[in-house]
Every structure is written in structure tokens, then in C-alpha cells.
Amino acid sequence: MHIGLNLLFLVPGETGGMEVVARALLPELAKAAPGARFTAFVNREAGGEIWGETIGSVVIPVNARNRAEWVRGEQQLLPRAARRAGCDLVHSLGSTAPVWGSFRRVVTIHDLIYKRFPEAHGRLKAIGMRALVPLAARSSQRIIAGSGATRDDLVELLKVPARKIDVVAQAPPPPRVQPTPEAELRRRQRLGERPLLLSASAKRRHKNLMRLLDAHALLSERPLLVLPGYATDHEAELRARAAQLGIAADVRFLGWVSDADMEGLYAAAAAFVFPSLYEGFGLPVLEAMQRGVPVACSGRSALAEVAGDAALLFDAHDPKAIADSVHAILTDRRLAEGLRHDGRAQAARFTWQATARGCLDTYARTLRRPVA
């Protein structure tokens, strides 16, 4: 059995959550099916990467930063390469997929943000997603969704038959490095001595950070709100809003931080708050829980599904509700300790071994024979 893995979307260090998923999943797939052969199809930027001891790779000669090249690679070059390699099935892990080929096709569609919040992507990317994601959904024999919420969106917004979709949850990646010591981190990042309220996300409008700032302004005793994550054009609006609210000194926009500093922030945080209006899964919530940080998060889309009873859920449209949840964690030690305990237990329910097994079950349904 020969399984191809379409990673043409993945530019190392630039692809966010989809890269996290691919790097964690591929080694587990190989472990779970030692009798199968796996080949990763990658772009030039990822050509030197190692995807697992038993996973080979084929470089498709395209620059994935160029949208036109990436589409040409996926729709024209990848099917030919997969045929030459003798793939029985190609699993596309980045929400788009080749629409033809002599092999069976599975696609993981992570979310439909481009439908729910079109402004979340740049104009050209949004246009491409509107064309390519529905094509992938129609042309693939099966679809993997990370949550029931994403499955429901596929049924509602793309009219995909529910029977064609398998829900396969993801998992939090284990820490890869030791955290930066708290004293060093506070000194270098100018974090002072106050309790830290952490919210890790890209500065995009659907992440709802504007209402988080409004909520922060309502707190009488403010922790330092720390916002790591890559900058976007929206960050200027967020900074202006913090200044308008008079809380600029209470907020740190850190931009992209190293893995060690991110682990240090988790270790030092008194609470993690995630007010996003839409998530296809919600890995940041599980990452915080896995590390024992008390979590307050939006109850929208997949977040309630992922958080379960192990977080304080709030109405993401209500700054007072956000502020009340944060205040409760910061002032009620018993509540905070309960959330730490329950969060670790909730995160432990999600494993990459189970994710890999779910993917292999989907392959078996697609091929109508077991993959082992």
C-alpha cells in the first residue's frame, strides 16, 4: 500500500497550524502502519526537510510562496508525480487538493474561515480558497474534518454530504524545548512583575482581539496582557485601540517569539484567554491546557467542543463576559487550580496516535481495504 501525502502548501516556519499538524501527524502515521509506504510531496522550500525515518519525499519544482506556481504544482505536477510513484491514495493535508489523478483522494479541510470571515485572508488568497476548497471537497472521495463544527460547516456552506466526512480530532504537540527562565523572559521582553494574561494568536480580525482589549480595560486590577503572534495590518488598529482605552502600558505586542520564549510564557502565565470568533479546531486552547495554564475561551465554533468542561466559556461578543471570566480565574485560587487539573486531563484525551489511527481508518474506507 502506497500513500502519498500532499504537503505542497507547507513553507517551513510560515504555515502556522497546518504545519504543526503535518509535522506531528506524519511520524505517527508511519508508526501506526509499518507495512505501508508513505511518500511526502513537497515544494522547493521544504525539499530538505526530514518527515520521518521511513517517509520518503519527492520535490515538486514550485515556489509555494507564489500562489500561481503552487496551484500549478498541485493541479498539474503532483498528479503526474503521484502516478509515477505508484501511489494508491493521496492525502492532501492543507484544505486544497488535486482534482484529478489515477489514485484515490482524501483531503483534510481544516476550516471554512474564508466563507465565514472572508476578510481573514488577503484578497488573492481568499479568491483562491473560494475556488479550490469546494473543488477539493467535490473531487475527493473522502474528507477529514478536525471537529464536528467544521463538519457541520462543510455540510451547510459547501453542501457536502455528511456521510462523506470523517471527524478526526487533532492533538496538542508536545513541548520541544525547555522554557526560557521566567526572570530572563520578563527582563528581555519587558514584562515587569505583574501576573501575565496570555493570548497567543495571529493578529487577524476573527481572532477578536479588539474585544479582548475592551474587556481588559474593564478589569480594575489589570494583569499584563501579552499578545505573541505574527503581526498583520490589523495590529496597528489594535495598538490604536489600546491607546484609546488608556491601557497601552498594560499590553505587550510581542510579535513572533521563539519556541523557548513561548514555553516560558506558558510557564509564567496566570491564565490563557482565547476570544476567537471562529476556529476549525482550536489547538492553542489545548496547548495551554496541556501545560497546566487555566483557560478562558470563546464558546463559538469548535472551541466548546475542544475545551469541554475544562475551561471557562464566555460569549465572545461580550467584553464584560470576557472580563468576568478572566477576573474569576485571577482572583479565585481554587477555581484556577481546578482548571489547571481539568485542563491537563482534557488535553490528554487528544493524542496524535489517535489522529493517525483516524486517518488510516479514512484511508481504509476510501480504498475499501485495510491499511496496516
Domain boundaries, the chain: 2-171+351-367, 182-348
Q: What are phi and psi of 176, to 5 degrees?
A: -105, -15
Query: What cell numbers appear for 92 in the block?
Result: 492532501
Give yes or no on whether 2-171+351-367 and 182-348 have one common fold: yes
276-285: per-residue pLDDT in tens? Answer: 999 999 999 9
The helix, strand and coil proportions of the chain, stated in percent and rounded to the nearest 5, come to 45, 15, 35
Average pLDDT (49-64) is 88
Q: Which pLDDT does position 48 carry in this prediction? A: 80
**349: Cβ–Cβ under 8 A, 6 or more apart, which residues?**
none
Query: What cell numbers appear for 180 in the block?
Result: 526560557
**313: Cβ–Cβ under 8 A, 6 or more apart, which residues?**
296, 297, 298, 299, 303, 304, 307, 325
User: Which of the four CATH numbers 3.40.50.2000, 3.60.9.10, 1.10.10.60, 3.90.550.10 does domain 2-171+351-367 have?
Assistant: 3.40.50.2000
User: Which of the four CATH numbers 3.30.1370.60, 3.40.50.2000, 1.20.1050.40, 3.40.50.300 does domain 182-348 have?
Assistant: 3.40.50.2000
Calculate the CA 360 to chain-centre distance: 21
Three-state DSSP at 4 gives: strand
Residue position matching grid coordinates 488598529:
237
Question: In the β-sheet with 312-314, what is the strand arrangement from edge to edge?
Answer: 251-255, 224-228, 196-198, 269-274, 295-298, 312-314
Closest CA to 355 of 167, 136, 106: 167
Number of other residues whose CB lies within 10 A of the CB of residue 193: 6
Cα–Cα distances (Å) from 102 to 38, 65, 81, 85, 86, in that order, read 17, 27, 11, 11, 9
Q: Please list the residues that pair with 107 across neighbouring strands.
A: 92, 143
285-326: per-residue pLDDT in tens? Answer: 999 999 999 999 999 889 999 999 999 999 999 999 999 999
d(CA 269, CA 262): 10
pTM above 0.85?
yes
Query: What cell numbers appear for 281 in the block?
Result: 479546531
Q: What are phi and psi of 305, to 5 degrees?
A: -60, -45
- Averaged pLDDT of the chain: 93
Q: Is the pLDDT of residue 210 over 80?
A: yes
